[in-house]
Chain A
Amino acid sequence: MTPPRSAFGASPPGGVSPHRASACALASGWRTPCDMQVARRRQRTGRAGSAASAWLRWQLLGRSLVLALTGCLLPAVADDGRALWPTIEKPAKGAQCVEDTATMRRQHMDLLKHQRDDTVRGGIRGAKHSLKDCVGCHAGAKTGSVAAAPGDFCVSCHTYAAVTIDCFECHTGKPAAVAQRKP
């Protein structure tokens, strides 16, 4: 007897493919018995009726999608602070950002890059879009930094987006009050 086909490809009878199990870590716990059930049912039906087989295939696809979506939307933070979804910590101080959230999400890199040249080469300091001010508000409560731990403000999103962040190779991720070097 040929092994039953799942929506994502071949899977062993009564089991779930490791590929699908890793597709969404949280949903896998729910999906496995479901898959097994479907697989068993399919084993019982055998080759009988291709219409029933197609219906089952679609139902399986639908269920998998629903479970996958549900699983991904749930907050999932591992013990070491890594997360499936970026954890946006609310800033400790500052009621409002210098730009609205959508602008900051899309354009913070351009704003910072534009102003850094003004500051380094032109000596204009304290303007609206400075990295120092970002750090001043967004430093995490636990680490006192925007870039010390995986859950910190900058690192969290950059890890999620898989964009390397080089700012803090030179700039301190801690606000002025915290970052006092011991002589």
Chain B
Amino acid sequence: MSKPHNAARRGFLGTAAAAVGGVMLAPGIQLIEVAQAATPGASAKVRWGMLIDTTRCASGCTDCVTACNTENGLAPPARSTDPQWIRKVEIKEIKTGRAASLPVMCQHCAEPPCVDVCPTGASFKRADGIVLVDRHSCIGCRYCMMACPYKARSFVHEPLADQRPDVPRGKGCVESCTLCVHRIDQGDKTTACAEACAKAGHGAIVFGDLNDPQSEISRRVRAVASVALRADLRLDPGVRYQGL
């Protein structure tokens, strides 16, 4: 589908070009804009994921949802069909009465069913495990919404205006949580929801690289019991839940 991106080679060429440009240009005379350095891009060595501690997630708190809306330019949903990238779910075990609150968003599966069913290749998984929709090729058929067992995806029914510059969105496309890909690509180490949760004092969302044994998320998933939602489907989600 998409061609593999050799990040290291690109990086080298970029540095080389910048170096040559720097040598060639006389001081004070700038012929070409060399300053712009592109980010290295998604690396297959990384697997971005989240660990959500449901014991810390406060019932009724929607800071993560608000932060997501603000970050990505989503209007607070007024109707059930309005786009929603992250939602709070309250669960209760009837037998014991134990209740828990947890955010549910795209689980960024290693084996994403949405990618399997997409007829145009618009739904895809990046090298670093983030599952996205390429709106340039999305035809809005919504097969992926049917296929997703987490109901993570939304369809944009209405024309939009004033999108965020980093988060283009539009009518007629399916969309879902991007793990704040625009921030991650720029080197940011957290997402809007995790940031908001930490700011609210809950710290229920830990974002990080599951492939890095030194990362906090790796240490946590090693130390405590965590589960994947609908583990029976064996989709290997990047989002895991603790205390369910």
- Which of A133, A135, A172 counts the most chain B CB atoms within 10 A? A172
How many A residues are at the interface, by size bracket?
20 to 34
- Per DSSP, chain B at the interface is loop
Q: Is the CB of A122 within 8 A of B69?
A: no
Supposing A172-B164, A179-B164 touch, asked if A123 and B39 sit within 8 A by C-beta, the answer is: yes
Instruction: Judge whether B163 is part of the interface by a CB distance below 8 angstroms.
Output: yes
Per the bound structure, the CA–CA distance linking A171 and B170 in Å amounts to 8
- Per DSSP, chain A at the interface is loop
Per the bound structure, the CA–CA distance linking A175 and B166 in Å amounts to 10
Per the bound structure, the CA–CA distance linking A126 and B162 in Å amounts to 21
Q: Which residues of B contact A135 (CB under 8 A)?
A: 165
Q: How many residues of B contact A (CB 8 A)?
A: 41
Q: Is the CB of A179 within 8 A of B162?
A: yes
Q: How far is the CB of B43 from chain A (nearest CB, A)?
A: 8
User: In the complex, which of the residues A96, A118, A120 contacts B136, with contact meaning CB atoms closer than 8 Å?
Assistant: A120
Per the bound structure, the CA–CA distance linking A128 and B39 in Å amounts to 11
Per the bound structure, the CA–CA distance linking A121 and B178 in Å amounts to 12
Q: How far is the CB of B225 from chain A (nearest CB, A)?
A: 32
Residues of chain A in range 59-85 having any CB-CB distance to chain B below 8 Å: none
Chain A interface (Cβ < 8 Å from any Cβ of B): 96, 98, 116-118, 120-128, 132-133, 135, 169-172, 174-176, 179, 181, 183
Q: Can you offer 10 A-B residue contacts whose CB atoms are under 8 A? A: A121-B5, A123-B126, A124-B185, A125-B39, A128-B33, A132-B165, A170-B160, A170-B169, A170-B170, A179-B163
